[in-house]
Amino acid sequence: MGQEDDLRGMGKVIDLLRAVSILLLVLNVYVFCFEWFANQGITNVIVSKILWGFSGTGLFNDTLYTKLGSLFLLAGSCLGVRGTKSETASWKQISMALGIGVFLFFFNDIVLLPEPTTAHLIIYAGTMFVGYAAIFTGVIWISRLVNLNLMKDVFNVENESFQQETRLMENEYSINLPIKYYYNKKENDGWINVVNPFRASIVLGTPGSGKTYAVINSYIKQQIEKGFALYCYDYKFPDLSEIAYNHLLTHADAYKVKPKFYVINFDDPSRSHRCNPINPAFMTDISDAYESAYTIMLNLNKTWIQKQGDFFVESPIILLAAIIWYLRIYDGGKYCTFPHAIEFLNKRYEEIFPILTSYSELENYLSPFMDAWLGNAQDQLQGQIASAKIPLSRMISPQLYWVMTGDDFTLDINNPNEPKILCVGNNPDRQNIYSAALGLYNSRIVKMINKKGQLKSSVIIDELPTIYFRGLDNLIATARSNKVAVLLGFQDFSQLVRDYGDKEAKVVMSTVGNIFSGQVVGETAKNLSERFGKVLQKRQSLSISRQDKSTSISTQMDSLIPASKIANLTQGTFVGSVSDNFDERIEQKIFHAKIVIDNEKVSREAANYVKIPTIIEFGGEEAMKQAIENNYKRVKQEIAELVAVEFSRVEAIKSKRV
């Protein structure tokens, strides 16, 4: 009851103040238009006494004083007033009402004359009261305003911005990328410091997100500047290869021993070196042959990756491995090349099986085939052999034979005495053919560089799912101690699952220490968001009632970088995290920033790039075709002669036994 009485009392005071405020305006009209009232005989003794009472205050010495007094009383009556809250009330409306009101209320004196007419009186009084009403309306609207500051950040940018690394942390291995990031309501400069690239890196992003331009190109340039031996898989040859070649030309002094640049390019043999990926000098055990066969067959049949261990998957792999090892041990390995292996496989099985099983180290290896042959299981045997022949027949190409039968260099790219920059080029139009051969180079390189005491080296694979890289998970897990930095670029985690299988894909994603991600969607974005974790964020809620509003502020743990943000990243903007070292601690490993690229500098460099030079001078297009064709025929002839000689030897042994 006491509170209600107080409210009633306050209401009476407010009503009184407003009544007096309006009375002052009425008296203002009476005083300053007195001549009109006198002429009309409408003067009043009571009003005159009231005016006499106010004469000492000076309120009626000037129209301005009376108006200010009236507004002062109006303002007093509005203190503590709580209008009905409205989300539609805005400062624009309030400003218009107050502006119109002030103009009409204060600047209507121009119509006053010593002897005002009726029209003057109506205009003066009307504009003053309309102005008064407009001012009063504006003041009431102010009390209706709802503070909706929480709606100014509808995408929660402030809560999801965070302090990032501003120090440049360099060492002899580091990759350092300048960035700009948003924090504390402004754009800041910072750095992404990959101080330990040997813990492997992944670059994700949909096509056009900028992963190659912003990250992979920078890796290539900075690692050459720091003296790394380099292996680069260039899916869209020669994009990355030209960058590596030209950067090496200007930074060869970064190496103690100047590295040589090599390129494998099946499309143009004149601009390609020749290299035998199964060089007998680097094959010490039959397991090496098995690894090579495994890589080739799984690159030719990506669906086999999910079926490893199946009979009709393992059978062709074992057969090809036996052939490779046979060529390795025959006559010192003079015919141990991949093209020779293909040609040998395509001979009649009645000839090749007796030859292979005549060697004790291969006899047990081929027992499944011999059992099928001797048991007259012809359908099974034909199926086993066909599953090897059919995919390998796609690789019968004179150009491929040319490149893979030479020995211009060895694959130990991080040999301290002979460092190399090696770029292998694929072609999107022929990737089904080339990927198997390039995968063989990959697997042999991985085996050869992952050793102690070698030069620091880098393996850069762009568009990883286009090639099956056997042993990739093992390389990431073990290469760190051997100073091998791995950088893998692909578009989406689902690509890796599709082409490498769920288990291996998860191992790859879980073991990398440095991750960059441009725009990605779906499960990949969710996985990354979970990887970046949660942070304490402020939440504000607003309740509006008829007479009042209430605001509450709370805190809760929420995603630092939500999946929706990752799915809508701008080109060149990346999220990710980096790893650190014992002596180089990075407190804020997570980043969400735009990688700064000097586009003008890049354009100038690209304009001055020279093309990868011609490596083999054939003497014209026709001469090149003839040389490649002669090499193709030579391989076929050598295998034909080998089979004839070896089959005769086996037959002679059988004759002696009989």
Ranges of beta strands (E only) in 158-227 are: 175-183, 186-194, 201-204
What pLDDT is attached to residue 89?
Answer: 64
At residue 137, what are phi and psi to the nearest 5 degrees?
Answer: -60, -45
Distance (Å, whole) CA 472 – CA 622: 41
Query: Within 10 Å of residue 610's Cβ, how many Cβ atoms?
Result: 9
Is 252:224 a contact under the CB 8 Å cutoff?
A: no
Report the half-sphere exposure of 486 (CA within 13 A, side-chain side): 28
Query: Which residues make Cβ contacts (< 8 Å) with residue 648, sequence separation at least 6?
Result: none
CA 180 from centroid of its chain's CA atoms: 15
What pLDDT is attached to residue 360?
Answer: 84
What pLDDT is attached to residue 629?
Answer: 94
What pLDDT is attached to residue 415?
Answer: 92
DSSP string, 35-98: HHHHHHT---HHHHHHHHHHGGGTTTSSHHHHHHHHHHHHHHHHTT--PPP-TT--HHHHHHHH
What pLDDT is attached to residue 84?
Answer: 57
Q: Domains (ranges, CATH) in the chain?
A: 2-146 (no CATH), 175-275+408-607 (3.40.50.300), 280-397+627-657 (no CATH)
Residues of the chain with pLDDT under 70: 1-11, 34, 44-45, 47-57, 79-89, 111-115, 143-154, 307, 309, 312, 377-378, 538-551, 657-658
For residue 528, what are its two tokens? 């990354």
Is 394:437 a contact under the CB 8 Å cutoff?
A: no
Distance (Å, whole) CA 604 – CA 597: 13
What pLDDT is attached to residue 567?
Answer: 92
What pLDDT is attached to residue 350?
Answer: 85
Query: Which residues make Cβ contacts (< 8 Å) with residue 221, sequence separation at least 6?
Result: 243, 247
What pLDDT is attached to residue 484?
Answer: 93
Whether the pTM exceeds 0.95: the reply is: no
Is 101:129 a contact under the CB 8 Å cutoff?
A: no
Burial class of residue 155 (count of CB atoms within 10 Å of its CB; 0-12, 13-18, 19+): exposed
